Amino acid sequence: MVITDVLISNFDHPKAAILDFVRQLSGIDDVYYDYDIARSERETGFVNAALVNYLKSLGNIENNVETVLDVYCHQCAIKMSCRELARSFLFLANHGIIPSGNTRILTTSQAKRLNAIMLTCGFYDQAGEFAFRVGMPGKSGVGGGIVAVIPGELAIAVWSPELNEHGNSLAGIKALELFTTKTGRSIF
């Protein structure tokens, strides 16, 4: 949410800027917000509302709380196929370079750090279990999507809507666990 706040401070139209960036990463112009998901996320995101208010009380949020929540909920509701999602994370598998245009958007060190953050935080309270079972940096989403990477090799995305108690896709985690087990490919 702090990053969302930074985006609001730096872009006149942050929701459009986010979509433009995701379109650049995926190489797909047909990426949009799912407004029903954004609305649902806003109507049921009580923890997010509490967190952004807490961050605001600590001086870590500069913008209006409602604006931050609106942009954040839209950011969580980007509508993509698994292929598009995987393509949008290839820059993390490619050490910060978007392969389709050979455009560097992060340094190698920054890509390494972002992968480490995903490995340790990308699955909420289940991050350690995901690292143990799957062995890949990744990020889950409220719609049941999961994307994961093996630096220097690949990005993979899966989707299944049933979420577990941690907010992560049940079948998605199992599919990725089977992928790494059967192929022997992981970061470990």
Within 13-163, residue ranges assigned H as helices are 14-26, 35-44, 46-57, 65-75, 82-88, 90-93, 108-121, 127-133
Q: Are residues 73 and 127 in the same domain?
A: no
For residue 33, give the CATH number of its domain.
1.10.1500.10
Query: Are residues 58 and 98 part of one domain?
Result: no
Is pTM beyond 0.85? Reply is: yes
Quick one: 47 and 58 in the same domain?
yes
The sign of the CA dihedral 82, 117, 92, 70 is: positive
Whether 150 is in a domain gets the answer yes
pLDDT in tens, the chain (188 residues): 999 999 999 999 999 999 999 999 999 999 999 999 999 999 999 999 999 999 999 999 999 999 999 999 999 999 999 999 999 999 999 999 999 989 999 999 999 999 999 999 999 999 999 999 999 999 998 889 999 999 999 999 999 999 999 999 999 999 999 999 999 999 99
